[in-house]
Structure 1
Amino acid sequence: MKLISLTANKETFHPIYFHDGINIIVGKQVTPTNKNDGNTYNGVGKSLILHLIHFCLGARKISSFEEKISDWEFTLNFIIDNKNYYCKRSTSKQNTIEFNGECLKPVKLQEQLLKLCFGLTQTPKNMTWNTLFSRFLRRYRSSYITFDAYVPKETDYNKILNNCYLLGISTQLIVEKNELREQQAKASTTEKAIKDDPLFRQYYLGKNDAELDKTDLEYRIKILEKEISDFKVSENYHEIKTEADEKSYQKRELENKRVLINNYIRNIENSEKETEDINLEKVIKVYQAAQIEIPEMVKKSLIEVTNFHKELLNSRNVRLRKELFRQNKLLKEIDNQIITIGKRMDVLLEYLNSHGALEEYVSLTKELNDLKNEIARINEYQHILKTYHDSQLDIKLSMMDKDKEADLYLEENIKYLDNLKERFQEYAKCFYPKKKSGLVIKNNTGENKLRYSIEARIEDDSSDGVNEVRMFCFDWLLLNCQVSKIRFIAHDSRLFANMDPRQREALFEIVYEGCKNEDLQYICSINEDALLSFKSMMKEETYKKIIQDNIIMELNDDNPTSKLLGIQIDIDLEDKGK
Structure 2
Amino acid sequence: MRLSKIYMNHSHIFESITFNDGFNVIFGKVISSKDKNTHNLGKSILAQVIDYCLGKKKDSMFFQNLDQFNEFVFFLEIEYAKDQFVTVSRSVSEPTTMRFKYHYLAEQDYRGLLDSEWDKTLPFEQSKELLDSLLNFQFIKGYSYRQFIGYLLRTQNDFQDPFRLSTHRGKDIYWKPFLAKLLGFDDELLKKRGSLIDNLNKLSEQEHFISLQNKTDAQSVSDIEGEIELIKLKIQDFKTQLDELDFGNQDKEEIAALVDLINDQIVALNDELFYLENDRKRIKNSLRTKKISFSTNEAQSLFNEAGLVFPKQIKRSFDDLIQFNEAINKERIEYLSKELKEIEPKIQNISEELIKLNKEKSSKLSFLNEKNVFDKYKSLSQDVNEKTARLIYLEQIRDIIYQGEEIKKQKSLLSSELESIENQIRDNVTQNVKSDSNSIFTKIRAYFGSIIQKTLNDDAFLSVNVNSKGNIEFEYKFTEKEAHKGHSYKKLLCIAFDMALARAYTEQGYCIFLYHDGVFESLDDRVKEKLLAVIREYSEYGLQQIITLIDADIPNGIEDFIHKDEVIRILHDKDSSGLLFKMTPW
Interval containing the TM-score (normalised by the shorter chain)? 0.5 to 0.7
1:41-56 pair list within 5 angstroms: 41-56=38-53
Query: Which residue does 1:281 correspond to in 2?
Result: none
| Structure 1 position 446 matched with structure 2 position 468 | yes
* Cα pair 2:159 2:491 within 8 Å, conserved: yes
Query: Which residue does 2:400 correspond to in 1?
Result: 377
1:97-246 pair list within 5 angstroms: 97-100=98-101, 101=118, 102-119=120-137, 127-139=143-155, 141-154=156-169, 156-195=172-211, 197-199=212-214, 203=218, 210-221=221-232, 246=256
Runs of at least 5 residues in structure 1 that lack an aligned partner in the other structure:
233-239, 251-340, 571-578
1:488 to 487, 505, 513: 513
Aligned CA-pair RMSD: 4.2
SS in 1 for 2:63: helix
2:456 to 406, 421, 432: 432
| Structure 1 position 550 matched with structure 2 position 566 | yes
1:35-434 pair list within 5 angstroms: 40-62=37-59, 64-68=62-66, 69-81=69-81, 82-100=83-101, 101=118, 102-119=120-137, 127-139=143-155, 141-154=156-169, 156-195=172-211, 197-199=212-214, 203=218, 210-221=221-232, 246=256, 369-411=392-434, 414-416=437-439, 417-433=441-457
CA deviation after TM superposition for structure 1 residue 422, in Å: 2.5
Q: Which amino acid aligns with 2:449?
A: Q
* Cα pair 1:501 1:533 within 8 Å, conserved: yes
* Relative contact order higher in (CA < 8 Å, ≥ 6 apart): 1
1:504-519 pair list within 5 angstroms: 504-516=528-540, 518-519=541-542
| Structure 1 position 25 matched with structure 2 position 43 | no
CA deviation after TM superposition for structure 1 residue 478, in Å: 1.0
**Structure 1 pair 60–161 and aligned structure 2 pair: CA distance change class (3 A):** same
**Structure 1 pair 152–398 and aligned structure 2 pair: CA distance change class (3 A):** closer
* Cα pair 1:148 1:159 within 8 Å, conserved: no
SS in 1 for 2:471: coil
**Structure 1 pair 169–456 and aligned structure 2 pair: CA distance change class (3 A):** farther
Q: How many residues align?
A: 445
Spell out, residue by residue over 1:21-49, the C-alpha distance to the aligned partner (whole angstroms, 9 max, x if none): 1111111112342x6xxx84111111111
Query: Which residue does 1:258 correspond to in 2?
Result: none
* Cα pair 2:235 2:384 within 8 Å, conserved: no
Q: Which amino acid aligns with 1:151?
A: S
SS in 1 for 2:484: coil
Spell out, residue by residue over 1:156-195, the C-alpha distance to the aligned partner (whole angstroms, 9 max, x if none): 5555433333333332333333334334433433443344
Runs of at least 5 residues in structure 2 that lack an aligned partner in the other structure:
102-117, 244-249, 261-364
Compare 109-118 and 23-32 and name the one that shifted more. 109-118
CA deviation after TM superposition for structure 1 residue 398, in Å: 4.2
* Cα pair 1:440 1:453 within 8 Å, conserved: yes
1: CA distance between counterparts of 2:251 and 2:4?
Answer: 101
CA deviation after TM superposition for structure 1 residue 464, in Å: 3.6
2: CA distance between counterparts of 1:561 and 1:244?
Answer: 119
1: CA distance between counterparts of 2:566 and 2:213?
Answer: 72
2: CA distance between counterparts of 1:377 and 1:464?
Answer: 55
2: CA distance between counterparts of 1:89 and 1:111?
Answer: 15
1: CA distance between counterparts of 2:391 and 2:583?
Answer: 82
1:439-478 pair list within 5 angstroms: 439-447=461-469, 449-450=471-472, 452-455=473-476, 457=478, 459=480, 460-478=483-501
* Cα pair 1:88 1:97 within 8 Å, conserved: yes
2: CA distance between counterparts of 1:567 and 1:525?
Answer: 21
1: CA distance between counterparts of 2:74 and 2:531?
Answer: 31
SS in 2 for 1:430: helix
CA deviation after TM superposition for structure 1 residue 128, in Å: 3.2
**Structure 1 pair 79–375 and aligned structure 2 pair: CA distance change class (3 A):** same
* Cα pair 2:7 2:16 within 8 Å, conserved: yes
TM-score computed with the length of structure 1 as normaliser: 0.66
Query: Which residue does 1:4 correspond to in 2?
Result: 4
Spell out, residue by residue over 1:183-229, the C-alpha distance to the aligned partner (whole angstroms, 9 max, x if none): 4433433443344x2317955xxxx5552232222453577699999
2: CA distance between counterparts of 1:158 and 1:422?
Answer: 27
Query: Which residue does 2:329 correspond to in 1?
Result: none
SS in 2 for 1:414: coil
**Structure 1 pair 486–213 and aligned structure 2 pair: CA distance change class (3 A):** same
**Structure 1 pair 175–368 and aligned structure 2 pair: CA distance change class (3 A):** closer
Q: Which amino acid aligns with 2:80?
A: I
TM-score computed with the length of structure 2 as normaliser: 0.65
SS in 1 for 2:121: strand
Q: Which amino acid aligns with 1:189?
A: E
Q: Which amino acid aligns with 1:455?
A: Y
**Structure 1 pair 529–209 and aligned structure 2 pair: CA distance change class (3 A):** closer
CA deviation after TM superposition for structure 1 residue 365, in Å: 8.4
What is the identity percentage for the equivalent residue pairs of Structure 1 and Structure 2?
18
Query: Which residue does 1:290 correspond to in 2?
Result: none
**Structure 1 pair 523–405 and aligned structure 2 pair: CA distance change class (3 A):** closer
**Structure 1 pair 471–381 and aligned structure 2 pair: CA distance change class (3 A):** closer
* Cα pair 1:23 1:551 within 8 Å, conserved: yes
1: CA distance between counterparts of 2:4 and 2:563?
Answer: 19
Q: Which amino acid aligns with 1:422?
A: A
Spell out, residue by residue over 1:418-451, the C-alpha distance to the aligned partner (whole angstroms, 9 max, x if none): 4433222221122123x2x22232331321532x
Q: Which has the larger radius of gyration?
A: 1
* Cα pair 1:430 1:506 within 8 Å, conserved: yes
* Cα pair 1:406 1:443 within 8 Å, conserved: yes
1: CA distance between counterparts of 2:252 and 2:5?
Answer: 102
CA deviation after TM superposition for structure 1 residue 153, in Å: 4.4
